[in-house]
Amino acid sequence: MIQFFGRSNELQLEKDASSRYLPIVISSMVFLAALALAGLFSIHSAVENWSTAVSGNLTVEIEYEAPRKLDKKVKITVDFLRTFPGVEKVRPLSLEESAKLLEPYLGRADVVKDLPLPRLIEVTIAEGSALDLVATAKKLSDTVPGARLNTHRPWLNKMITLARSVQLLAAAIMFIIGITTVIIVIFAARTGMVMHQEIIEVLHLTGAKDTYIARQFQNYFAKLSFLGALPGLLIAVLVMQILGFLTSQLEASLITAPTMIFEGWIALAMLPFLVALLTMGTVRWIVMGSLKRMM
């Protein structure tokens, strides 16, 4: 019996030059697929983090006016918000903190804080709270003129839409890579069938079954695909680590290092095995069809 990844006893496919470069091609395909898959899971993780961070946090913005009046409005707003059930924490941001938030856009904080900036108040909602944000925003604007409650929901919706679009693009790339890999394997298998046609006919005359011959082809090509997928996966992981390190070195609050969830690493580890199984099924389908036509 021919074992998985075993040698092709009669056909001697190991000496076939037609499939010599197949592992290199498979390695390239797996490299691209691994990056696309990592992008899928990283974006999914980012969306989850954004949703978690934004869902329980609100921001109140009070329009700029004279400092004394502005300080008074901040105090009234803080006291007003603390009366609502479900509000866990209310913290007014200092002028230095507000300037620090704008530093990535406008430059040094000591220059930004001289601008007529609105005052910001950070509001944390208790988990599971049923606070009516629309009613709260209306009451706040009636109580404190110039105060506006920002739920971050429009911003989050736009970011989620963008993230989903990138995920669809990554999925489309993976689909194209899969189709391309199948086409390459089909070409290699058919070439091998043509080159070993005489030996296959002799095996048929000696009573060899089609499944026996197909097993030699599928095991051989599955081995090539598996061995080719490993370096492609390792290089992709190395590139991901380098990109993550370089991103973490950027001093920008808008760009964070990509993170991979546990399920993502499991999916990456399964790539070589999935490629080998895909190759095995494709080769078996091609070889069995060709053998039936040869009969």
Is there a single domain that holds both residue 271 and residue 202? yes
Full domain range(s) for residue 138:
64-145
Is there a single domain that holds both residue 95 and residue 175? no
In a domain, 224, yes or no: yes
Is there a single domain that holds both residue 206 and residue 254? yes
In a domain, 4, yes or no: no
| The total number of structural domains that make up the chain | 2
Is there a single domain that holds both residue 122 and residue 90? yes
The residue-averaged pLDDT of 183-204 equals 84
Region of 138 (left: φ > 0; alpha: ψ -120 to 50; beta: rest) is alpha
Is there a single domain that holds both residue 73 and residue 176? no
Rounded to whole angstroms, how far apart are CA atoms 43 and 24? 29
The residue-averaged pLDDT of 191-220 equals 82
- Confidence category of residue 79, pLDDT binned at 50, 70, 90: confident
Is there a single domain that holds both residue 26 and residue 172? yes
* Residue reference for tokens 């390239």: 28
Percent of the chain residues past pLDDT 70, beyond the cut: 79
Instruction: Answer with the one of 101, 126, 145 that is the final residue of a domain.
Output: 145
Residue 136's nearest CA partner among 149, 124, 118, 145 is 149
In a domain, 265, yes or no: yes
Residue 66 is predicted with a pLDDT of 77
Is there a single domain that holds both residue 139 and residue 179? no
Residue 180 is predicted with a pLDDT of 92
Is there a single domain that holds both residue 174 and residue 73? no
In a domain, 5, yes or no: no
Is there a single domain that holds both residue 241 and residue 277? yes
Please name every residue paired with 124 in a beta bridge, in sequence order, or none if there are none: 57, 89
In a domain, 57, yes or no: no
Angle CA(243)–CA(244)–CA(247) in degrees, nearest 5? Answer: 85
User: 49-68, pLDDT tens digit by residue?
Assistant: 666 666 667 788 888 877 78
The residue-averaged pLDDT of 73-80 equals 86
Rounded to whole angstroms, how far apart are CA atoms 59 and 150? 5
The residue-averaged pLDDT of 80-91 equals 82
Instruction: Answer with the one of 120, 145, 170 that is the final residue of a domain.
Output: 145
Report which of residues 43 and 6 the model is more confident about: 43
The residue-averaged pLDDT of 103-110 equals 63
| Alpha-carbon radius of gyration of the chain | 31
Give DSSP secondary structure letters for 170-202. HHHHHHHHHHHHHHHHHHHHHHHHHHTHHHHHH
pTM over 0.75: no
Report which of residues 147 and 179 the model is more confident about: 179
Report which of residues 87 and 129 the model is more confident about: 87
Q: Is it the case that residue 6 has pLDDT exceeding 70?
A: no
Q: Is it the case that residue 227 has pLDDT exceeding 50?
A: yes
Is there a single domain that holds both residue 165 and residue 224? yes
Q: Is it the case that residue 22 has pLDDT exceeding 80?
A: yes
In a domain, 151, yes or no: no
- Confidence category of residue 110, pLDDT binned at 50, 70, 90: low
Residue 255 is predicted with a pLDDT of 47
Q: Is it the case that residue 223 has pLDDT exceeding 50?
A: yes
Rounded to whole angstroms, how far apart are CA atoms 120 and 61? 5
Q: Is residue 89 within a helix (H) or strand (E), and if so which, with residue range?
A: strand 87-92
Q: Report the chain's mean pLDDT, rounded to a whole number.
A: 80
Residue 126 is predicted with a pLDDT of 75
Q: Is it the case that residue 229 has pLDDT exceeding 50?
A: yes
In a domain, 167, yes or no: yes
User: 241-275, pLDDT tens digit by residue?
Assistant: 888 777 766 654 444 555 777 888 898 999 999 99
Residue 282 is predicted with a pLDDT of 92
The residue-averaged pLDDT of 274-285 equals 92
Instruction: Answer with the one of 145, 167, 202 that is the final residue of a domain.
Output: 145
Q: Is it the case that residue 4 has pLDDT exceeding 70?
A: no
